[in-house]
Each structure stands twice: as C-alpha cells, then as structure tokens.
Amino acid sequence: MHQEEEHESIFMKNIQKGVEKGIISLSEDYSKIVYHCKRDYTTSFKNPEEKVRASYFVELVLEYNYPSKRIDIEHKVPRRTPEDRADIVVFEDDECKKPFLVVECKKDGISDAEFKQAIEQAFGNANSLRAKYAIVVAGITRTAFDVAGFKPSEREKNVISDIPKKYGKTPKYKFIKGDKDKDLRIVSREELIRTLEKSHDTVWQGGKLAPTTAFDEVSKLLFCKLKDEKTTKKGEYYKFQIGTHETAEEVFKRINSIYQKAKKEDSEVFKEDIRLEPKIVYNVVEHLQGLAINKIDLDTKGVAFETFMTDFFKGKMGQFFTPRNIIKFAVDMLNPTREDLVLDPASGSGGFLLNTLDKIRKYAEENYDDLEAWDYWHRFAMNNLYGIEINDQIARVCKMNMIIHDDGHTNIINTDSLRPIKEINNIHRGFNKEKFDIVLTNPPFGATVKATEKDYLEKYELGKGKKNQKTEILFIERCLDFLKPNGRMGIVLPDGILTNSSLQYVRDFLMEKSQILAIISLPQFTFSHYGAGVKSSLVFVRKKKPNENLGNYPIFMAIAEHIGYDATGREDPINDLDKILEEYKKFEKNPKGYKGVSK
C-alpha cells in the first residue's frame, strides 16, 4: 500500500464518515459534492478548499452536534458590497433566521498573511450577520472567535479555544489527553510536513531571520510540543495550546515554562532561550496544537522531519547530509546488532545513527511483543548510539532528529572529532579509544588541517612531519583509533585516496591496520545535489587484532551506476546497491570460493 494512502488525510477520513452518515454525497468520479443541509447544495469537489469545508461540515454535525438542517452553505451576507457569501453558517433556529456561527474555510498550508485576511473576511461576515461566533479553518490550523462579546475590531482577547458544542459554553481549553473526542489527532506525512513548513514560515517572517536560525527556533517549539505530549497526564489539558481569551503573552509564558524546565533537564540540546516574540510563538502554537506528533508512527515522522530539514539545509549545508539510499546500504552491509556500540564521528543530521536505530527497532518489532520490543530498541537508542558533530547548529539538528525518533540524543556531542581523544572524553565519558564495534561515517572532504593552526597534527601517524593534511585522511586514522580490534567500519572516501600514487602511504596505513572487506564505487553525481561533486567510494574494513597477519585475501569490489536517484535528485527505479548487497552476502559466506558477477 502506498504510504500516502495508508495515512489517508484526516480530511478524507471525515468526508468518508459524512458519506456513510448520509449528510453529504459524492459523485462517482469525486468531481461533485452535495451537502444535505438547510437545502441540498451541490458544488465542485475539485479544489482543495472544498475538502476542508466538507470535512469541517461533517465535524459540525457529527462532533459538535449541530443539526444539519440548521446549517447553510454559501450563505448570502447582506449589506456587503460586492455581495459576499459565507462558506458555512450555523443557525440557532429551525427557520435559519438567527445566525450563530460563521465559518471561513481555506486550504491547508496558506501563509500567515492569507490567514489574517481570512480572519477579516470571517469577521466581516459575522458582524454583518450578527453571529455570536466565527472560526477560520485553514486545513489543520484553526482559530475561533467570540464575536458578540467584544468590540468589532478586537482580534486577540476574543480568541476562544474552540467553538461551543451544540450551542453550549465555550470550553477553556480544547485538547485533553486521553479524551476520545478531545485528544490530539494523528495526521499524514504530507500534513505533518505542511504544518512544519507553515511553522517555519511563521518564524522566518518573510526573511527577518536567517532560514537556519528560524529552523532552530521551530526546533525549540517542536521540542516543547513533544515534551508536553509526553508529560501531560491522562485527563489533563495539554499546555501547548491556546485557551479561550488568552493573550499571546499568556500563551508564550506557558510554552516558555515548558522550555525552561526542559532546558534545565537537558542543557546540552538547547543552550539559549526562545528568541521569538510572543505573537510569533502564539501563531506557531496555532499550527501545531492539534497534532499528536508523538503518536505518528516513526517512519512517517522520520521521513517528514527529514524532508522538512533537507529542504532547508541542502543548499546551505549540504555537506552535513548523506543521501538516504547510501546510508541504508552502508548500514545493511555492516548489519549492526543490539550489542554493537555504534559511532559516527561526523554525524551531520544523524542519518547513519537513525538508520541503525530503525534497523534495530524493526528487528525488535518483528521478534518481540510490543512492550519488550519498545524496551529493546529504546535501550539501544539510549546506550549504543554515539555521534560527534563539529557544527553546533547541525549537532542540535541531529539531537532534535533523535528526539523526534523517540530519543538517543544524549550521546551526541558538539566538538571536533580530530582533537585528542582524551579531550573528547572530558566532554563525554562515553568516547574512548578502541571502544566501538561499528563506525559508520561520511567525513568532511576537502578541508585542510594546518600544523600552524591545530596542534594535534603531529599526533597522527598520517600527519607527522607534515605542514598540512586533508581532513578525510586524518579521519581514516581517527575512526580506526575509535574502533575495537575486530570492529568494523563503513566510510565514504574520495576516490583520490584509493587511486592517487602520491597517496600510496595512506593506503599502506589502511592495509596495515585493517582488513579491507569491500570497496563500492559510487557514481560521480552521488552527492552532487547535496552540494558536493567529488567522485567517491564506500570502503568497508575490519580493524586487525594486534599482530594479526592475513597474507593475501580476496576483497569484494563493485561499481554502482544506479543508486535509486539521478543527478538531479529525482527517483531512479533502478538501484544497483540492492544487488550489490545480495552479492556481498554471498561473498561473506565464502570469500575464497566467490565467483563474482560481471556486467
């Protein structure tokens, strides 16, 4: 089943319910919809706005208990020129003479400015019709107002948590944990991506902040949201929501208190305060408040966050991202188990670590019952995954990525992996020489470490007596330092290291310290749409035990021409990596007898 269909959007789910209950009908080809309300109203079902309106109409009848015969669609609004029509109007009486609620519907994903405009439209209509309440429904983002009790120009103090149910009282808060009708809702991957994008646009404020700074701020609020979902007890109101008649300052204060508390508990992830003004935080809460982010399944959530993230950083910081297909292949080649301690000393946004976690999680879910499986992979996440990232902003993204995936962020540190291991160990006791079973990494290419700038160059065998050395060469040595004897490593290396005659000494060093298991040549474009065009290969090695002598041994070699996407980043139906993995497994069983496959 296709991912999108499986997470069918909440709009279509509502509409389906409405059809079953007979309050709306759809034509066979889904081109027309009929609302069975005050009058049968037929219109085109083709535009996205109509899906939002149909879904909300169903909610009004089935969840808020407003009789469908007291609801009108496209209701004429008097005294407005040119003549205007309200999307939905709910009346207090069977004759439909006393308007109670006016609804303005917009498609999901509109900008804040468009949302503001929609609010003005709703108010214009509500004031003309003398309705008591108004609500703007822009997909998942919704804001409701008490129109009657305030001055016509008021737009903040009259915000309410939600419209009343069946002409009753306005609730103080809308979302209650564990309540069948009032709990948060699970949304599809597309809806989650759109909500994250809306939140980012709100924070970015059309360019007032740098996109990456905006991303940081969204991460802080997302962190509060996840924290609130986890720590709220059943039967209690969530704190991450907007209550009736609350000002932006009050909402900000409450969100900030979640943040400050979490910051104390985990000062590593977020060092600074929330740097946004209350109104912006308020708007982000509007976007996020109704979503049950923790309950969305991990694969959906992971892909959504990754898509959202790469859109930002690909152009600006592409070097911190390794394409998913390459990561998955490297993890499958080394096939980590729950016992393995896994390290990525150039962790970027955490791709190798998260993919390893996914592998362990899937194994657990297939082999244990729910509670055991959860415990199995959570312990692995907390205790077995380690990462080092030199860029502090990307290190935060990595931690955030781990938190979204249900944790394991405590062993991610922000420092330079090439500095002496003793210094790294002072930052976090978990990082020691010869400690790790598996190292998986795509180290930074092309940067040069100068002896005049870094005092550690002399401490490397591959740096001794040199004025400068390339980072990727020092990384080979550092990764081997971190590996236990017999430990294994998968590393992306520029082809120059494998072929240039001037770098023979690097190859000699690698052969002396390790057994080369496999070399997979990747196409030139592998990293090009991530901003790097260096021809490279994936090299897999096993660190030798002291005094181990191997003599001659076979090495598995393969060339991947197709890797599941093309030079522009578009999907390619062919992926040679699957076949290569299959062949490597055969080779592993019997290296000397392996015949190989030629094109």
pLDDT of 7: 36
Q: What is the pLDDT of residues 152-184, one digit of tens each?
A: 888 888 999 999 999 999 999 999 999 988 999
Stretch (H or E) spanning 387: strand 385-389
Bigger pLDDT: 445 vs 459: 459
Give CA–CA dist 552/564, Å, rounded: 34
**11 vs 312, which has greater pLDDT?**
11
Q: What is the pLDDT of residues 53-64, one digit of tens each?
A: 999 999 999 999
Per the structure block, which two tokens stand in for 372? 């055991």
Of 208 and 91, more confident: 91
Alpha carbon separation from 430 to 342, 344, 459 (Å, rounded): 11, 13, 22
Task: Give me the pLDDT at residue 531, please.
Answer: 59
Q: Which two tokens stand for residue 569?
A: 């980043």
* Distance of alpha carbon 554 from alpha carbon 518, whole angstroms: 9
Listing from the earlier edge strand, what are the strands of the sheet with 84-91? 71-77, 84-91, 99-106, 133-138, 141-146, 159-160
Q: State phi, psi for 262 to the nearest 5 degrees.
A: -65, -35
Say whether 298-589 and 3-160 share the same fold: no
Contacts of 327 (CB under 8 A, 6+ apart): 351, 352, 355
Q: What whole-number distance in Å separates Cα of residue 118 and Cα of residue 105?
A: 8
Strand partners, 543: 514
Query: Which run of H or of E encompasses 41?
Result: strand 40-44
Most confident of 146-150, 265-269, 382-386: 382-386
pLDDT band at residue 1 under the 50/70/90 scheme: very low
> What sign for the dihedral angle of Cα 405, 410, 414, 415?
negative
Q: What's 502-544 look like in SS3?
A: HHHHHHHHHHHHEEEEEEEECCCCCCHHHCCCCCEEEEEEEEC
Given pLDDT bands bounded at 50, 70 and 90, which one contains residue 146? very high
Residue ranges per structural domain of the chain: 3-160, 189-288, 298-589
CATH number of 298-589: 3.40.50.150
Count Cβ atoms below 10 Å from residue 426 Cβ, excluding itself: 11
CA distance 581 to 136: 52
> Element (H or E) spanning 282, and its range?
helix 278-288
How many Å apart are CA 476 and CA 541, to the nearest integer? 11
pLDDT value of position 314: 61
pLDDT in tens, 67-110: 999 999 999 998 756 678 999 999 999 999 999 999 999 998 89
Phi and psi angles of residue 580, each rounded to the nearest 5 degrees, phi first: -60, -40
278 preceded by cis ω (within 30°)?
A: no
Q: Which residues contact 169 (CB under 8 A, 6 or more apart)?
A: none
18: nearest Cα among 5, 35, 2: 35
How far is Cα 585 from Cα 186, in angstroms, rounded to an integer?
39
Distance CA 455, CA 89 (A): 73
Containing 377, the helix (H) or strand (E) segment is helix 370-383
Residue whose tokens read 């029509």: 85
CA 345 to the chain's CA centroid: 22
Q: Are strands 342-344 and 32-36 parallel, antiparallel or unpaired?
A: unpaired
The fold for domain 3-160 equals tt1808, chain A (3.90.1570)
Of 225, 215, 399, 214, nearest in space to 296 by CA: 225
How many whole angstroms separate alpha carbon 482 and alpha carbon 421?
Answer: 9
Q: Beta strands 536-543 and 514-521: pairing type?
A: antiparallel
- Reply yes or no on whether the pLDDT at 5 is more than 60: no
d(CA 2, CA 68) in angstroms, rounded, equals 35
In tens, the pLDDT along 464-511 reads 989 999 999 999 999 999 999 999 999 999 999 999 999 999 999 999
pLDDT at 2: 37
More confidently predicted of 364 and 84: 364
Helix (H) or strand (E) holding 194: helix 189-204
How confident is residue 263, by pLDDT bands cut at 50, 70 and 90?
confident
Please name the amino acid found at residue 444. Answer: P
